[in-house]
């Protein structure tokens, strides 16, 4: 895979800017980056949050780890180098969604801090929200309906995060959510409250977002 950038490629400035799209949408765009072990609830939380945001009139899109590996990243394995490239691609894709005025929700294990920082650094300052889905390995294994952890412990699946490959927890995420013990509704409320605090969406009323 070549890392050489062509000198003939020039960034084309759009006529319809991110600011104009945000004004039309009546909300800001941002990147919400869910990270955590397999089974920690990243995808479940991302889709539940998207459902709530959709009904609030927010333009959203979820990038799910498994779905992306069916297409955009189908050529990548789970080696450390390919995991790094996987996250690099998602970071760049998220940046494009950000320019479209969309609230982009990503659900990837993204096990290495340096790779998450790369994704953060390609995103304009303040537009990257890292959310740690905090669930213990025991809890994640108990939720493993696909039997992936069992296969990893048996050596059938190599480079499996939490078993034969490390997971580096965020040191200072924008939000840490206890997905191991809290209900999905409570977790969604936490994220919504953060989005209101950061003025991504308008203030909400009613018990649905009680802290």
Q: Which of 180, 198, 201 is nearest to 42 (CA)?
A: 180
Residue 155 sits in which domain range? 18-209
Across 49-71, b (16+ Cβ under 10 Å) vs e yields bbebbeeeebbbebbbbeebbee
Q: Is 22 helix (H, G, I), strand (E, B) or coil?
A: helix
- Catalytic residue among 29, 38, 110, 142, which? 110
Tens digits of residue pLDDT in 151-189: 999 999 998 999 999 999 999 999 999 999 999 999 999
Q: Give me the sign of the Cα torsion angle 63, 44, 108, 127.
A: positive
| CATH code of 126's domain | 3.40.50.300
Task: Confirm whether 119 is domain-assigned.
Answer: yes
Average pLDDT over every residue of 182-200: 97
Q: Which helix (H) or strand (E) holds 98?
A: helix 80-99
Task: Confirm whether 1 is domain-assigned.
Answer: no
Is 110 considered catalytic here?
Answer: yes
User: What's the number of domains the chain is made of?
Assistant: 1
Tens digits of residue pLDDT in 91-114: 888 998 898 999 999 999 999 999
Q: Which of 139, 130, 210, 141 is nearest to 179 (CA)?
A: 139
Task: Confirm whether 9 is domain-assigned.
Answer: no
Task: Confirm whether 109 is domain-assigned.
Answer: yes
Task: Confirm whether 197 is domain-assigned.
Answer: yes
Task: Confirm whether 13 is domain-assigned.
Answer: no
Task: Indicate whether 23 pLDDT > 90.
Answer: no
Q: What is the largest CA-CA distance in the chain?
A: 55
């Amino acid at each position: 895979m070549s890392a050489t950038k062509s000198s003939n490629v020039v960034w084309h400035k759009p006529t319809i800017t991110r600011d104009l799209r945000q004004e039309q949408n009546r909300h800001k765009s941002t990147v919400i980056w869910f990270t955590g072990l397999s089974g920690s609830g990243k995808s479940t939380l991302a889709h539940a949050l998207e459902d709530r945001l959709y009904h609030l009139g927010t333009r959203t899109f979820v990038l799910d780890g498994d779905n992306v590996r069916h297409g955009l990243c189908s050529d990548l394995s789970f080696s450390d180098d390919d995991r790094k490239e996987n996250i690099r691609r998602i970071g760049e894709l998220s940046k494009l969604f950000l320019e479209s005025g969309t609230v982009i929700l990503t659900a990837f294990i993204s096990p290495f801090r340096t790779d998450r920082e790369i994704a953060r650094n390609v995103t304009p300052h303040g537009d990257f929200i890292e959310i740690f889905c905090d669930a213990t390995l025991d809890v994640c294994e108990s939720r493993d309906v696909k039997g992936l952890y069992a296969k990893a412990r048996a050596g059938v699946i190599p480079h499996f995060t939490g078993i034969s490959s490390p997971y580096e927890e965020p040191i200072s995420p924008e939000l840490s959510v206890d997905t191991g013990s809290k209900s999905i509704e409570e977790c969604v409320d936490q994220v919504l409250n953060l989005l209101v605090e950061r003025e991504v969406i308008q203030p909400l009323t009613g018990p649905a977002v009680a802290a």
